Structure 1
Amino acid sequence: MSRQPLLWLTLVFALGKGTLFDFHVIPTRQNFQNGESLCRGLGYDGLAIISSPEIYRYALQLTKPVRTNNETCGVYVGLRRNPQTHMMTWDDGSSSAEDSPWFANVSLYPKLHYGVMHRVGNLASSHGTWEQYSLCGNHNNLPTKALGVTALGQQPDGVSSSLSVVKVPSYLECVLLCGRDYRCRAAEFNSDLLTCMTLGPGSYTGLTANGQSQTFVRNGYF
């Protein structure tokens, strides 16, 4: 993607909905099920959902001391294989995003049913029987925070599909809309039409000039 420096501005939006990053690392090692039970005993809904890039990057920082410990290969999170679809699904029912940072192709390991943040930081699937650390979190009102950059006078090019196209009064509202969807990777606001188009992973090829557009490009998982 070609970036024109004069048209790019750093942009950070931290939204007020939800408790910001309410996570807890269990400081002892146990299997997936026991880790989940310990989290619930502490008042959390279970293991943490880290589906958005912003939450994921925070979890990387929070778990680094235990995740990179020589005694473990990672940290359990709230991700498991759906028995009907056989897809790895977050515990709030949402599917993992297409660009989720998997360590390996999980479809090649259908007997590994539980999610773990690997020592190197990627997601991986596990038997769930190994003793690992666990990351606790709640499953409702997840933080809606979007970090990224603004491309002034630019619109997405080569768009193959969109998550949504809705009327909004401002560019700020468009960015907020993107932040509410963990799958959103870019959002274009057209000031003439007052429309916001949100885009998922791999749904556009780059940016092209349009004087009526501003495009928010969200940061990735790392």
Structure 2
Amino acid sequence: MFYRVTDHDSVYIGMQYQPEEGALVWDDGTRPRPDTPFYGRPADSSYRYARLTLDGRIMVGEGSEQKSALCGNHKNAASESWGRTVQGELMITNIKVLDQRKLFSYPECALLCGMTLDCRVAEFNFDFLTCTLVGENKVIMIVPNPNIINYIRQMF
């Protein structure tokens, strides 16, 4: 049996609205993270199925059956990580530090973030050669610091 798994510029993923839970749920039973990049309105009984758009956001829309092309919320190490580099800025956040270790280069730090499921930002400090992995956070203030380089993960 063939199912159409794409819809113009998006692909169906293994997440749908569960009326008994009253929430969107991944097919493996877990709920999406609070910082999941949703596009548009939240799901309700008429907007049940999730699609991943070209720009990396999750869109919830109508549908009558599940048509997953990408399924679940898998905790495998990343083979690819998308993000951007910001140099010279120390981000003051309500930090949830996941890990901090000595590394010798920024690329190693960015790679470590890409391989860590909960990582949202990797902060590399050239002075101390430390890499700090930060989870979900809100930036409170940005302070100039020429010895800091950040990898900000954009898709997770």
TM-score, scaled relative to structure 1 = 0.50
Kindly report structure 1 stretches of 4+ aligned residues shifted beyond 6 Å. 82-85, 118-121
Task: Specify the SS of the correspondent of 1:134.
Answer: coil
Does the 8 A contact of 2:98 with 2:135 survive in 1? no
1:67 matched to 2:4? The reply is no
Identify which of 67, 90, 103 aligns with 1:155: 90
Letter of the aligned partner of 2:7 in structure 1? R
- 1:195 and 1:155 map into 2 onto residues whose CA distance is 13
Letter of the aligned partner of 1:164 in structure 2? L
Structure 1 residue 136: Cα displacement:
4.1
Question: In the alignment, what sits opposite 1:100?
Answer: 37
Structure number with the higher strand fraction is 2
Does the 8 A contact of 1:148 with 1:217 survive in 2? yes
The count of corresponding residues between Structure 1 and Structure 2 is: 151
Q: Sequence identity, in percent?
A: 25
Structure 1 residue 137: Cα displacement:
5.0
Identify which of 101, 116, 119 aligns with 2:50: 116
Question: In the alignment, what sits opposite 2:143?
Answer: 208
Identify which of 88, 99, 112 aligns with 2:24: 88
1:28 matched to 2:9? The reply is no
Supply the RMSD in Å over aligned alpha carbons.
3.9
Task: Specify the SS of the correspondent of 1:196.
Answer: strand
Task: Specify the SS of the correspondent of 1:28.
Answer: coil
- 2:11 and 2:148 map into 1 onto residues whose CA distance is 41
Does the 8 A contact of 2:13 with 2:52 survive in 1? no
TM-score, scaled relative to structure 2 = 0.66
User: 1 or 2 for the larger relative contact order (CA 8 Å, sep ≥6)?
Assistant: 1
Letter of the aligned partner of 2:3 in structure 1? T
Kindly tell me: are residues 119 and 140 of structure 1, through their superposed partners in 2, closer, same or farther at Cα, counting changes over 3 Å?
A: closer
Letter of the aligned partner of 1:169 in structure 2? L
Question: In the alignment, what sits opposite 1:168?
Answer: 102
Letter of the aligned partner of 1:168 in structure 2? K
Query: For 1:42-81, what per-residue CA distance to the aligned partner results, in whole angstroms no more than 9, with x for missing partners?
Result: xxxxxxxxxxxxxxxxxxxxx6xx4029xxxx75421145
Q: Which runs of 5+ in 2 are unaligned?
A: none
